[in-house]
Structure 1
Amino acid sequence: MTEFRRQIKDPEKENQIFQFRARLLLLIVVVFMAVLFFRMAYLQVFQYDQHVSRSERNRTNVEAIPPTRGLIYDRNGRLLADNLPSHSLTLTRELAGDVEEVVGRICSFLEMQADCQATLMERSRHRRRPFEPALLLDQLTEKQIAILAVNRHLLPGVEISAQLLRHYPAGEAVAHALGYVGRISAEDLEELDRRAYSGTHYIGKTGVESHYENLLHGEVGYRRVETNARGRVLRVVESEPPRPGVDLTLHLDSQLQEVAYASLRGRKASLVAIEPSTGGILALVSSPSFDPNVFVGSLDDQAFTDLRNDGNLPLFNRASRGQYAPGSVVKPFMGLAGLEMGVIEPDMTMEDPGYFQLPNDDRLYRNWKRNGHGEVDIRRSIEVSNNTFFYSLAYALGIDRIAPYMREFGFGQQTSLDVLGAREGLVPSREWKRENLEELWYPGQTLSTGIGQGYWLTTPLQLATATAVLANKGEWVRPRLLQSAEGEAAEFPDAQARDPVPVMDPQNWNIIHEAMQEVLHGHEGTARFSGEGAAYRIAGKTGTSQVVSLSREFEQLPPEERPEFMRNHAVFMGFAPADNPQIALAIIVENAKGGGSKIAAPIAREVFDAYLTPERLAELEASDAP
């Protein structure tokens, strides 16, 4: 019986099994404890620095401190671009929880438009790195600030912060010269140095603001702050202040700029004035214009669409990007070319029957005065703007000599040093037509070129530059806007010195200058009414730039009775005082109700008078200047 029980239950064997299992379990426990011990030792000893750093990052955050944007002044120390305090609304997505719900509450509290939520959601994504606040709204009113403050507990991750926003005191008058700053877009983020622009919400978009962005922006600072579990700042651990942007001084004369803008009277027109001795741009105006301040704030899509679709193109910079046939204002340059190349002599005359005819050609190339001007020489042909004389001169010169000589004055080239987006214009040539139109050059096209028509295109900036070179008697100074940065004279490493316009006889400059003075002070001058009563002598030339070829029906109508798109452009270029040029300018008025003598020349006189005040003239007379 005992043996039977032993077969069913063996205490000795069970005891052995139990002891084996207990030892195995103890071994497993010891192994696990050893693993935990070594893991703890590894984390506490070998990875101590790494985990301390991670713990510190959970407790502290690094916040970017945006730099103050540099100011912009005119040549007289008047502020053109300022920074004014404003309140903005920002959102940190990581602290907001349900971002869409928070944004919806903001729109509801502020009673904003229906598309508010989609717009703010898009803006909330415009940031450089995690935990960086994204700008939702700027220029908050006191009422909006109060509403958001009362409902702050319902808006996690949302902060109201004070910042400096760009402001342009002169508004529309300087818009195309200065440009403007705007909100950093998704496209901008792809090109920007994200670290350099941490905490910055605006960037220069056009004009000086864009061209000198690297100087104006400054360098970002930072501060390391300790936060609680909700992300609230408890204390500042350390900080490095930002370096503000560089203050710039421009050659612009803001008072002259405003006078020039007002003188255009809202017409589609442009004006550029240059100081011949330095190349400094005194005024750069495009009309109609726009208020650059609206781009600094939260410009809604409809307002931008209205500006963009405006038929008068207020956003288009006509002064540097508009390209027009120069018309008769090229005649002084043509006259100089003829004198220099020996094609004409100063006292050589010709009889003008009212037209010019090419050999073996029945077509008549007519003077603007149907019956002609009678006997004309180079001086009188410029004074009365005789076409026949310059048809003859152009034919004698030929396009192969005209084109390269006009490039000596900067036509067909981009010569400005810091005018953003300036276009090159076009001086037509035989090679250009063959390469671009795959056509031969015809003699009749040379005649059109001789009076500034045909394929010839120039910008107001380019024409003003050529006028300044003419005023300097061939000495080149490339136009520029920047005068100094932080009080130090601006340097342009790429400002290669151009050779002066070559002349065989320096007296030829005087002949052209004297003829241009007769345009405004001679008894037959096309702009003589604009020169009356001036306390100084003006040298200038009027022009009419043909827009379309008119049928006989419309050609006989006075300009004011033609449809607007059929009216010619009014052009003027000139400098003053004629014996000591202080200002050279070019004006183009699109689709004007009259030519350069009626429309553009009076504008030039207003600008000359504004710049050459009696006080300034007295200073010039008292100086040692020739």
Structure 2
Amino acid sequence: MLYRQPDRLHDHGRARRVFRMRILLGAVVSLFVILILFGRAAWLQIAQHDYYSAKAEQNRTRIVVLPPERGRIFDAQGEVVADNVATYQVQITPEHSRDVRAELDMLARVLELDSAEVEALAERIRVGRRFDPVLVKADLDEVERARIARLKPWLQGTEIVSSLKRVYPYRELLAHVVGYVGRINAEDVKRIDADAYQGTQYIGKTGIERQYEDRLHGVPGYRVVEVDALGREIEVLETVRPTPGHDLALSIDVGLQGIAAAALGEYAGAVVAEDPRDGAIRAMVSRPSFDPNLFVDGIGRDTYRALLEDPDRPLYNRVTTAAYPPGSTIKPLMGVVGMEDGLIEPDERFFAGPYYQIPGNKHRYRDWRKWGHGWVDFEESVFRSVDVYYYDLAYRMGIDRMHEFLTDFGLGQPTGIDLPGERSGLIPSRDWKRRVKDEIWFPGETVIAGIGQGYMLTTILQLADMTATLAQSGTRHRPWLVADNRGMRPPVEIERTDAWRRAREAMLAVVEHERGTANKIAAPYPIAGKTGTAQVFSVAQDEEYDAEELERRLHDHALFVGFAPFDDPELAVAVIAEHGGSGSGTAAPIARKVMDFWFGVEPDSEIQPEFSEYGD
């Protein structure tokens, strides 16, 4: 027993040490746990105070975005051409929904949406922000609103709101100018500022609506509301009103636009009327056209397919995006460069036979007049539209000089008008053909370019601007549609020489002279103009063009450009009537009707302006 006593003492000491270590370890662990708890509490109550306060506030309040009213668009006389009307729409906010897909499927059944519409909505939601409302359907009727109201307990993220819907009172008349808005889609979301478009469901897609989207859109506002446990509004706590978009005033005159559209009649084509004094566009008609109201809330697939497959291409803006051979309308301009370069003397007589041949070449370039015109001077070459005269001038001038002058004049390049998608056209050159076609330029191609055929392509807007510049003897203004652009770019001054006067006087003779190609449109006011045709297909060397034996779609396009009054021009007009055949018989009378309306002259024949008020 005496031998084992020390062991018991030793065990007792070790037990106390173990006990102390356990107490110390427990204290450390307890302290560590306390520090973690205090740290977590500090993190939640101090560092994350704002976040959790906001979350708590969200349980009590909700921010409702107030979309801005889109700016309206007016014509030059103050007529509304793009307006907003009150309507009801249903929208879904993903953040407020328990199951977005389930809600979409339920809405599809209630509102009779097809699968393509539902998938487009799902994609729009996927790429957007969860707190941004997405338009499901606009312009709800009473039955649809009642159905959705009954299902509200199952549609937590869905709400019906009053809104403003875009409408276009003149429908087809201004579709290619004003354009249209459409629903914001997945592609739009990728390029827009999401904050600037909170609560907004529409964006400009074409025309003025797209060009001036930033000015028309406005700035969103918001309303802070108190809600109960079911999300129902109890009280409005704060309101920040949205800033409306800016209204726009166009240079277009709706009355003149309606007359121009009616004057075109059944022809596909275009009419442009420009003020040569400052470049203001007074009328811009492209026919056929379409109803832009169809696109605002999403056009049906069958309707859209019908528009796309229509052989007359109503969606195609023939003023800015269609390019045609300018034909004989460029002859006065060719005369200007010919006189300035000393290639022609305006009073010198030139024998214009039935055809022209390049020296050493047997190919015959025929005049439109089978037996030729005989001896003519410059003025006669214009008012009788003598092809052989310009074959010879073009050959001596060369394609490079022709390209240089016509390009400097504004042909074959965008005018800079304030519309999206303007096409440049083409004024060919040796370099262009070598670069694009990897071929050399042939002299025969220069000859036919002299009468505006071959590779040469211009838009009707360019021809209107060319005519306005001729009217001003070389002062060229950039055409514009929105009044704020007036004088934004200084005019281009081309050196004034006597050649401009001679060219203008020759254009006057086109209408005033008894042998002028457009003498049938002579008016109480002096009109200067030039007729032309744009070939649809080429006639072989040993064949003759016989319009009566051709299908309508193979007839030449009819062209006319002109300005009035001659001494103090106020209006320059360019017209193309596709497959109209004769510039003098088809296009020139259209221009005369447009000018008559503008100058307050009663037309010889009854013509009613084409208007299409929304809702008629």
Same fold (TM over 0.5): yes
| Contact 1:550 1:566 (8 Å CA) reproduced | no
Q: Compute the RMSD of aligned alpha carbons.
A: 3.0
The one-letter code of the counterpart of 2:534 is S
Aligned to 2:390: 390
The one-letter code of the counterpart of 2:384 is V
How far residue 557 of structure 1 moved from its aligned partner, in angstroms, is: 2.5
How far residue 344 of structure 1 moved from its aligned partner, in angstroms, is: 1.8
1:408-454 alpha-carbon deviations (Å, 9 max, x no partner):
32112212241221111111122222222222222222211111111
Q: Which moved more, 1:86-95 or 1:164-173?
A: 86-95
Aligned to 1:94: 95
| Contact 1:126 1:185 (8 Å CA) reproduced | no
The alpha-carbon distance between structure 1 residues 161 and 185, as it changes in their structure 2 partners (threshold 3 A), is same
The one-letter code of the counterpart of 1:72 is I
1:120-147 alpha-carbon deviations (Å, 9 max, x no partner):
54454464x2222211001112332233
How far residue 164 of structure 1 moved from its aligned partner, in angstroms, is: 0.8
Aligned to 1:524: 515
- Structure 2 gaps of 5+ residues are 1-11, 603-616
> How far apart are the structure 2 equivalents of 1:49 and 1:112?
42
Q: Does 1:589 align with 2:582?
A: no
1:12-61 alpha-carbon deviations (Å, 9 max, x no partner):
99x99999999799857787567545644554456544533443344333
SS in 2 for 1:318: coil
1:18-37 pair list within 5 angstroms? 36=37
> % of aligned pairs identical?
42
The one-letter code of the counterpart of 1:579 is D
Aligned to 2:605: none
Aligned to 2:351: 351
581, 589, 592: which one aligns with 1:602: 589
How far residue 334 of structure 1 moved from its aligned partner, in angstroms, is: 1.0
Q: Does 1:502 align with 2:499?
A: no
1:424-503 pair list within 5 angstroms? 424-484=424-484, 490=486, 492=488, 495=489, 497-498=491-492, 500-503=493-496
The alpha-carbon distance between structure 1 residues 97 and 321, as it changes in their structure 2 partners (threshold 3 A), is same
> How far apart are the structure 2 equivalents of 1:248 and 1:109?
39
Q: Does 1:64 align with 2:53?
A: no
1:443-489 alpha-carbon deviations (Å, 9 max, x no partner):
222211111111111000111111100001111211111113xxxx7
> How far apart are the structure 2 equivalents of 1:260 and 1:47?
67
Q: Does 1:52 align with 2:41?
A: no
Aligned to 1:76: 77
| Contact 2:364 2:541 (8 Å CA) reproduced | no
> How far apart are the structure 2 equivalents of 1:238 and 1:270?
53
- Structure 1 gaps of 5+ residues are 1-11, 616-626
SS in 2 for 1:319: coil
SS in 1 for 2:107: helix
> How far apart are the structure 1 equivalents of 2:187 and 2:296?
17
> How far apart are the structure 2 equivalents of 1:174 and 1:520?
30
1:531-550 pair list within 5 angstroms? 531=522, 534-550=523-539
The one-letter code of the counterpart of 1:567 is H
| Contact 1:449 1:456 (8 Å CA) reproduced | yes
The one-letter code of the counterpart of 1:501 is I
SS in 1 for 2:475: coil
SS in 2 for 1:320: coil
How far residue 151 of structure 1 moved from its aligned partner, in angstroms, is: 3.4
The alpha-carbon distance between structure 1 residues 51 and 448, as it changes in their structure 2 partners (threshold 3 A), is same
The one-letter code of the counterpart of 1:587 is V
| Contact 1:137 1:298 (8 Å CA) reproduced | no
| Contact 2:384 2:510 (8 Å CA) reproduced | yes
* TM-score (ref. length: structure 2): 0.89
Q: How many residues align?
A: 594
1:209-608 pair list within 5 angstroms? 209-484=209-484, 490=486, 492=488, 495=489, 497-498=491-492, 500-505=493-498, 508-531=499-522, 534-551=523-540, 555-558=544-547, 560-592=548-580, 594-608=581-595
The alpha-carbon distance between structure 1 residues 158 and 511, as it changes in their structure 2 partners (threshold 3 A), is same
> How far apart are the structure 2 equivalents of 1:391 and 1:44?
89
The alpha-carbon distance between structure 1 residues 48 and 156, as it changes in their structure 2 partners (threshold 3 A), is closer
How far residue 554 of structure 1 moved from its aligned partner, in angstroms, is: 7.5
The one-letter code of the counterpart of 2:599 is L
| Contact 1:321 1:422 (8 Å CA) reproduced | yes
1:277-299 alpha-carbon deviations (Å, 9 max, x no partner):
11011111111111111111232
The alpha-carbon distance between structure 1 residues 241 and 553, as it changes in their structure 2 partners (threshold 3 A), is farther
The alpha-carbon distance between structure 1 residues 458 and 55, as it changes in their structure 2 partners (threshold 3 A), is same
> How far apart are the structure 2 equivalents of 1:353 and 1:19?
129
> How far apart are the structure 2 equivalents of 1:380 and 1:605?
22
Aligned to 2:3: none
> How far apart are the structure 1 equivalents of 2:82 and 2:116?
32
How far residue 384 of structure 1 moved from its aligned partner, in angstroms, is: 1.2
| Contact 1:340 1:503 (8 Å CA) reproduced | no
Q: Which moved more, 1:570-579 or 1:396-405?
A: 396-405
The one-letter code of the counterpart of 1:521 is E
How far residue 360 of structure 1 moved from its aligned partner, in angstroms, is: 1.4
> How far apart are the structure 1 equivalents of 2:566 and 2:163?
50
The alpha-carbon distance between structure 1 residues 56 and 375, as it changes in their structure 2 partners (threshold 3 A), is same
SS in 2 for 1:517: helix
The one-letter code of the counterpart of 2:72 is L
SS in 2 for 1:321: coil
* TM-score (ref. length: structure 1): 0.88
> How far apart are the structure 1 equivalents of 2:349 and 2:380?
10
